[in-house]
Amino acid sequence: MAQAPLQPVRGTHDLIGADFRRHHLVIETARRVATLYGFEEWATPIFEDTRVFSRGLGDTSDVVSKEMYSFEDRGGENITLRPENTAGVCRALVTNGLTQSNLPRKVFYAGPMFRYERPQKGRYRQFHQIGIEVLGAAEPLADAEVIACGWHIQQELGIDEGTVLEINTLGDAASRDAYRAALIAYFTAHRNDLSEDSRARLEKNPLRIVDSKDPRDKALVAAAPTIHDHLTPEAAEFYAAVKRHLTAFGVSFRENPRIVRGLDYYSHTAFEFVTERLGAQGTVMGGGRYNGLVEEMGGPPTPSVGWAAGVERLTLLVEAAELTPPAPRPVAVIPVGEAAEAAAINVLQSLREHGVVAEIAYKGNMKRRMERANRINAGAAVILGEEELAEGKVVVRNLDKGSQERVAMEDLLRTLAETGAVESAMHAMLQGILEEELGGEVDDLDEDFGGETESR
């Protein structure tokens, strides 16, 4: 029977070459900046007990009600592939017994998430998020710092231009109860103009309607009451404090009373970083305060705040800004004849130990190995002929210019670093060595390359 050829599952994608380098850049940059803010990285499982995400019948968010990959495993457990990681981090806080000590905990994470949605640009079924959470901090300074960290990451990536921070408050429980009543009254009066989904949400969670992307709802939502008329004095002051602190952090923002966020657990601060540059999928980062979630996992009251960002959306911005990191250009080590192979391996490993990306072709004569060097976009070749080796020398060829020189083994690193063509093959370490004019490190290098140590 003829079988259909294998394809990646709809909404999934492979990360290869430049795609992977952008992906890696986003995650590494976020990790580095989050570390500066005192966040530690956690990794929680990509699947959890379904109850971690679906907490009773009250959850009306699209993510939980429509988009989850849930299944019964062979042991009859109800499992869900995580659609987001905030719930998993809160579960981990509780089940690792961390709810009482060292609060607030500041957690960074990065990894794949799964949602059954209609795939399109910037929207996939397996996608990746980076995120941070401050667990156990009720103060508005935490909200502002979390947002500042998110903005810092985007600035560090060089993709902040054209992205705007929009913030809102969802108030405290009393504010939301009052707002809820006002929304029910308003939407009930326009019931027949609402989308079906929104009609179903009307009694359960009218706040969800404010978040609706259905064009039928949008006009109604635009004229709907906002929470600002229903804030308690405490909630209003909390919101004012977040804005004050944001200004102190130097983060500008635009207030948008329509932001209510896609998940049901938020209170007080809600925010999104949005851009026009990604079409319909314009939200790159979103988050807010969630004061009840840890309790829902069986922990004590633990007010928390955080955000998650779509790695794929950030990488689309990196690509558009032409900031894709180049692939490193290796140095090709080329033995001429079998007798030179051992010496070549020695040089190869020494280069790698000094942070230089270096490769050796597994077989072939010099011509074949040169062809391979060009195919892997090597910037330079180090050619080891028997004659040169006998004199403790090698030939360094700049593969961009075609020029070459014979140098003493102990001058190899310096020569490579000076060869413009291999600049990008040089690890930061070698750059550092060069900048220090081969200061203290030089003895070390010479020894490694078998040369007599000369004082320079």
Judged by CB under 6 A, which of 48, 143, 217, 312 binds ligand ATP? Answer: 312
Q: How far apart are CA 248 and CA 48, in angstroms?
A: 39
CB 73 within 8 A of CB 50: no
CA atoms within 13 A on the CB side of 99: 20
CB atoms within 10 A of CB 77: 11
The angle formed by the CA atoms of residues 196, 202 and 208, to the nearest 5 degrees, is: 90
- For residue 79, give Cα distances in angstroms to 48, 73, 139, 352: 6, 7, 35, 44
Instruction: Report which of 415, 345, 425 is spatially closest to residue 378, judged by C-alpha positions.
Output: 425
Measured from the CB of residue 231, what is the shortest distance to ligand ATP in angstroms? 23
118 is in an annotated binding site: no
Token pair 């405490």 in the structure block, residue: 234
Which of residues 124 and 449 has its CB atom nearest to ligand ATP in the complex?
A: 124
129 is in an annotated binding site: yes
State which of residues 52, 64, 81, 84 lies at the interface with ligand ATP (CB under 6 A): 84
Of the listed pieces 33-41, 72-80, 119-127, 220-228, which binds ligand ATP according to CB under 6 A? 119-127
Q: Does 85 help bind ligand ATP (rule: CB under 6 A)?
A: no
Q: Which stretch binds ligand ATP (CB under 6 A): 173-181, 276-284, 346-354, 400-408?
A: 276-284
Does the footprint of ligand ATP cover residue 133 (CB under 6 A)? no
- DSSP H/E element including 167: strand 163-169
Is 84 marked within a binding site? yes
112 contributes a contact to ligand ATP by CB under 6 A? no
Q: What residue type is assigned to position 19 of the chain?
A: D
133 is in an annotated binding site: yes
Task: Give residue 257's region: left, alpha or beta (phi > 0; psi -120 to 50).
Answer: alpha
Is residue 290 annotated as involved in ligand binding? Answer: no
Q: What does the alpha-carbon distance between residue 253 and residue 190 come to, in Å, rounded to a whole number?
A: 32
Q: Does 145 bind ligand ATP (CB under 6 A)?
A: no
Query: Residues 386, 387, 388, 391: is their CA dihedral positive or negative?
Result: positive
Q: Pick from 148, 242, 251, 308: which binds ligand ATP (CB under 6 A)?
A: 308
Candidate list 124, 266, 290, 449; residue touching ligand ATP; CB under 6 A = 124
Do residues 375 and 414 make contact, with C-beta atoms less than 8 angstroms apart?
Answer: no
Q: Which residue is nearest to ligand ATP (CB)?
A: 310
Out of 303, 306, 310, 385, the residue judged to bind ligand ATP by CB under 6 A: 310
User: What sign does the CA torsion over 280, 284, 289, 293 have?
Assistant: positive
Smallest gap from Cβ 86 to ligand ATP, in A, equals: 9
The minimum distance between CB 214 and ligand ATP, in angstroms, equals 13
Residue where the block lists tokens 């600035």: 155
User: What sign results for the dihedral spanned by CA atoms 196, 201, 202, 207?
Assistant: negative
Among 82, 106, 289, 313, binds ligand ATP (CB under 6 A): 313
283 touching ligand ATP, by CB under 6 A: yes
Residue 127 as a binder of ligand ATP (CB under 6 A): the answer is yes
Q: Which stretch binds ligand ATP (CB under 6 A): 14-22, 149-157, 303-311, 328-336?
A: 303-311
- Restricted to residues 62-81, the positions that interact with ligand ATP (CB under 6 A) are 63
Please choose, out of 122-130, 163-171, 174-182, 396-404, the segment that lies near ligand ATP by the rule CB under 6 A.
Answer: 122-130
Question: Up-side HSE of residue 60: CA atoms within 13 Å toward CB?
Answer: 20
CB hemisphere CA count around 427 (13 angstroms)? 10
- Does position 54 interact with ligand ATP (CB under 6 A)? The reply is no
Q: Is 69 annotated as a binding residue?
A: no
Is residue 395 a contact partner of residue 343, using CB atoms and an 8 Å limit? no
> ω before 104 within 30° of 0 (cis)?
yes
Residue 163 DSSP SS3: strand
Using the rule CB under 6 A, is 123 a contact of ligand ATP? yes
Site for ligand ATP contains 256 (CB under 6 A): no
Total interface residues for ligand ATP by CB under 6 A:
20
| Residue 400 identity (one-letter amino acid) | D
Q: Is 265 annotated as a binding residue?
A: yes
Residues comprising the binding site for L-histidine? 84-86, 115, 129, 133, 261, 265-266
- For ligand ATP, the binding residues (CB under 6 A) are 63, 84, 115, 117, 122-124, 127, 129, 262, 281, 283-286, 308-310, 312-313
Residues comprising the binding site? 84-86, 115, 129, 133, 261, 265-266
